[in-house]
Structures are given as structure tokens and as C-alpha cells.
Amino acid sequence: MMKQPNTQPVSEMMLRETASQTAGPYVHIGLALAAAGNPERDEEIWSEMAKPDATGEHIEIVGTVIDGNGDLVRDAFLEAWQADAEGHYQADYDLRKPFNSFGRTATIAEQGSEWSLKTIKPGAVAHPNGKLMAPHINLAIFARGVNIHLQTRLYFDDEVEANRECPVLSRVESDNRRQTLIAKREEADGITRYRFDIRLQGPGETIFFDF
Amino acid sequence: MQPKYNRFVTRDRNWHPPAYAPGYKTSVARSPQQALMSMQQPTASELTGPDFSHLRVGPYDNDLLMNFTQGEGLPQGERIILFGRVVDQFGKPVPHTLVEMWQANAGGRYRHKKDAYLAPLDPHFGGVGRCLTDDQGFYRFRTIKPGPYPWPNDVNSWRPAHIHVSVMGPSISSRLITQMYFEGDPLIPLCPIVQTLKDPEAVETMVGRLDMANSRPMDCLAYRFNIVVRGELQTFFENQ
Ligand SMILES: [Fe+3]
């Protein structure tokens, strides 16, 4: 008797989640068409989360993804999810809007294996305990050799007070590890830019979350 | 007053492949060594996610027979319908969620600037599709069956024929990228990437089934691939 897929109960009420597999080296074909060298469709989900008329402080975020050998990962694909300047998640993705809470990017070999996002600084979002979390961006990392995507948070180094009070960030006991979640501000060409390098393994390994 | 968000069923990380799976060699240097930090109390940042209902999807975006040349020429290979339903762990359909897919051509070659496999590109095949699930959670693509291809892992490793499938679900907590394999493919149990899973039942969740009832006579076969994303728990009680 052949088993029906995806109908294996873990309790009488529940199905098992479909299992994850690596996005592989060619994830760009499906989710980052230009990075694969392929033509784009009319609308693509990509890295310009904020258009010039979006409300808030306009920022650029750049970074790399580094493996356990200290080498740059040249085929990583990332997804960002963040609140708007008022601290609200805008679920409705619509490219006609000035700002979208969701964005995608990839490390591009021709651009120094860096990823980048054009966005606005997110506002603070309330934690269920009532306190405010410091401004942050959720990042998911997919790549060849990554069997299930890694989830992290990017915080900002110029939010010293808010970072200290953040109910999530303050749960990290190790100061060294907490630093792996904090993007460093750099002023360049009149643009406010933050750098956030993600270390998958080894010294300075980024904190990854389970939720 | 804070808005209330539903929680999700905890992700079973022994069911999914572990980060470190040495049989799949690339995972060795790309797997974190530190434990994941558990978000004890998920927040709006984890419990919300994008709704793509207003993404303007093109008429051929889910038709890989047509979308690369807009119908000027048909690709080589076995014509298939790939369809299924996205449901959560409680069996509740997930409507209007974005399903994206990409694949190699019938010869096992990807249209990607970094793929240099011997098999030729098909001038009529791109290999990308996307669509939103309907009110009942159903999605559908028309494509060709991809070929298996060799890759540098062991001396002679081959990927079974597969289609990469990406789904968002109701929140970034339900985000999932997987691969659909074809029922009966003898390469499935030999594949180091499939073998990153410990539980054969988990492998079964990634196998698309031949569905003769939904095939089109004299046209194409159909494969059904249902996708289960994390279940949303209803909030019965509040602390108060
Ligand atoms: Fe593949």
C-alpha cells in the first residue's frame, strides 16, 4: 500500500511539515532572476524596499556572508522583513507603494560578493511583554550547503539606548555574541550605510534564531 | 493594546535536515556550530509576513512551456502539470500565498550563468515559475520534467530529477524552500542531499505523485505535490 505524501499525522490532528532542502547554487533562477543572468518579469521582488518618497530615514545596508573557512559565500540569497518607520509591519506587498516591509537580495560575485538593501530605518516594534524592541530587520539566509534557511536579526550600532533595553537583544548573555547582531554605521557619499557581515560558522559566528 | 498574533506549531528541527550533514560536503563549512537561540516568545517580527496578493503576476508566469519565448517555440521534454495544495499542519488551506519554482531543462542543464554542464541549453526553456494559490490553497504549473544532473560531491554524485519549490505561507515563520522529487526515481535514495534527512517519512513529504486523473490525454502527465507549512495555533487563553 503506497503511503500518501504529507498526510502523516504527528497527532490525530496534525500533519508533518514538508521537509526543507537547500536552495542550491541556482536559487537565483527562481528568486533573483537578474543575478542568474536571466531576463526579469514585469514585477520582481527585490532589494529596493524603499523608494525615494518613502517616509523615514533612508539607509543602505551592505554585507557579506562568510563561511567557516573565512571565505566569502558567493551564492547566498537573503530575505529581509522589517517594520516601517512607525514600527508597523506592512504585510501588503505592492510595488506601487513607496515602502515594502519585505525585500530580497543576494551576494553578487561581481560586486565583491556583497549583498545590499535600500530601505528605511525601521521603527521600534513592541514585544509581547509590552516593552519596545530596538529597531531591527529580520534576515533569512539561503544558500547551497544550507539545508534549512538561517534566521537572524540585524540591529543598529547607533541605537545604543534602545539596544540595551531590547527584550530580545538583552537576552544574549555573551557580549561578543551580541555584537554579531549589530550593524556598523558608515557614512559614505552622503548616504547612510550600515555594514552587516554574516558569519555562518566559527570565530564571530552570527547568532541564528529558532522561532 | 497590542495586536494579537497566532503562534505557530514549533518547528521540529529533527524532522528537517540538520545544518551539519557531512555527506553533503558544502554543508561542512556553512553550518553554524553554536546552538540556535530560541525566541521564547515570538513577536510581531516573527509572526507576521508578506502578503503577495497584489504582486502583478504575468499570465505565463506559471506556464514554463510558454514563458521563456512567449510561445514562439516549445521546450524539449516530457510535458507535465505540477499541481498541489498548500495546507498548514492542521489541514487548513493556505490561500493566496506565493509559490515559486525553478528547475533544470530536460537534459539536466540550468539556465544560470554559472552552470556549465555538458547538456545544452534549450532555447525555448527558462526554468522559472511562480503563482499564487487560489481560494482553496491550490497551485498549478505547466512545465517539462527536468533531467537528473551530475554534481561535484562524491566522485559520481547525481541529483535525482527535481523541481525547487519555495513557499511563504502566512508568516515568515512558515517560510520554506524544498525540492520536489518524482515518485519512483531510483536516484532519490542515492542522493547526498536527500540523505541529509534522517527520517524516511520526511523524504516522503518531498515526493510528487503521478496523478493520472489530472493528466491530459494526448498532452501531458500530472504530478501532485501537496505542501504542508507550519500550523497556526489559535490563541485560546491569554495570560491575564
Ligand atoms: Fe537543483
Nearest Cα residue to B43 out of B88, B89, B7, B1: B7
Q: Identify the pLDDT of residue B5.
A: 82
Name the pLDDT band for A64 (thresholds 50, 70, 90): very high
What is the torsion angle, in degrees rounded to the nearest 10, for the CA atoms of residue B163, residue A147, residue B49 and residue A62? -110
- B147-199 per-position pLDDT tens digit: 999 999 999 999 999 999 999 999 999 999 999 999 999 999 999 999 999 99
pTM to 2 decimals?
0.95
- A133-177 per-position pLDDT tens digit: 999 999 999 999 999 999 999 999 999 999 999 999 999 999 999
Q: Identify the pLDDT of residue A7.
A: 47
Cα A35 from Cα B179, distance rounded (Å): 21
Q: Identify the pLDDT of residue B6.
A: 81
- A172-197 per-position pLDDT tens digit: 999 999 999 999 999 878 899 999 99
Q: With contacts defined as CB-CB under 8 Å, which chain B residues touch A143?
A: 30
Nearest Cα residue to B223 out of B234, B231, B232, B215: B215
Find where cell 547538456 sits: B119
The contacts of residue B199 (CB under 8 Å, 6+ apart) are B14, B15
Question: For residue B29, what is its C-alpha cell?
Answer: 563549512
Q: Is the distance from CB of B139 to CB of B131 less than 8 angstroms?
A: yes
Q: Nearest CB to B227: which of A18, A91, A200?
A: A18
Q: Is the distance from CB of A121 to CB of A158 less than 8 angstroms?
A: no
Would you tell me how many other CB atoms lie within 10 Å of the CB of residue B202?
A: 22
Q: Does B223 qualify as catalytic in the annotation?
A: no
- CA B165 to ligand 1 center in whole angstroms: 10
Write the DSSP string, B88-105. Answer: ETTS-B-TT-EEEEEE--
ipTM of the complex: 0.96
Cβ separation of B101 and A30 shorter than 8 Å?
yes
For chain B, percent of residues with pLDDT exceeding 70: 96
Judged on CB neighbours under 10 Å (0-12, 13-18, 19+), B70 is: exposed
Q: Give yes or no for residue B1 having a pLDDT over 80.
A: no
Q: What is the 3-state composition of chain B as percent helix, strand, coil, each rounded to the nearest 5?
A: 10, 30, 60
